[in-house]
Amino acid sequence: MIVKIVCLHIGEFLQILHQKLADGAVVEKTIAASMVWALIANNQKGKVVIKCSGIDAKLQEALNQLYLLSTNEDTEADEGIRIISSVLQIIYAENNTTRKQ
């Protein structure tokens, strides 16, 4: 958990995620999305940091690029589409857990 908190507050790390999602190859975009997934899993603060830093918008741009690159035989792009779509769903999912009083 401490690693998640530290990573989310290092500007250079967030900048690298921005760069890989914007300019990286399909594999790099997929890996960056997987890293975001690991950081936001069960971490509401992580979701907020990702939204505030604009990485959610970069994920959406990467998803759009992969849709354009995707062909019937491009399993690499299809895997990236699945992962990035899942990450975006997690980012925008409402916290539906309720506390017992």
Segment 30-78, tens digit of pLDDT = 999 999 999 998 889 899 999 999 999 999 999 999 998 887 777 888 9
pLDDT exceeds cutoff 50 at 99: no
Q: Is residue 101 part of a domain?
A: no
Taking each helix axis as running N to C, give the angle between helix 11-23 and helix 26-40, from 0 to 180 degrees, rounded to the nearest 10. Answer: 140
Segment 16-31, tens digit of pLDDT = 999 999 999 999 999 9
Q: Is residue 42 part of a domain?
A: yes
Q: Is residue 69 part of a domain?
A: yes
Q: Is residue 98 part of a domain?
A: no
* Residue 35: how many other CB atoms lie within 10 Å: 16
Q: What is the DSSP letter of 84?
A: H
Residue 18: both structure tokens together: 């921005």
Q: Is residue 99 part of a domain?
A: no
Q: How confident is the model at residue 97 (pLDDT cuts 50, 70, 90)?
A: low
* Alpha-carbon separation of residue 71 from 26, 32, 50, 81 (angstroms): 13, 22, 30, 12
pTM of the predicted structure, to 2 decimals? 0.85
Domain containing residue 64: 2-92
Q: Is residue 72 part of a domain?
A: yes
* Residue 96: how many other CB atoms lie within 10 Å: 5
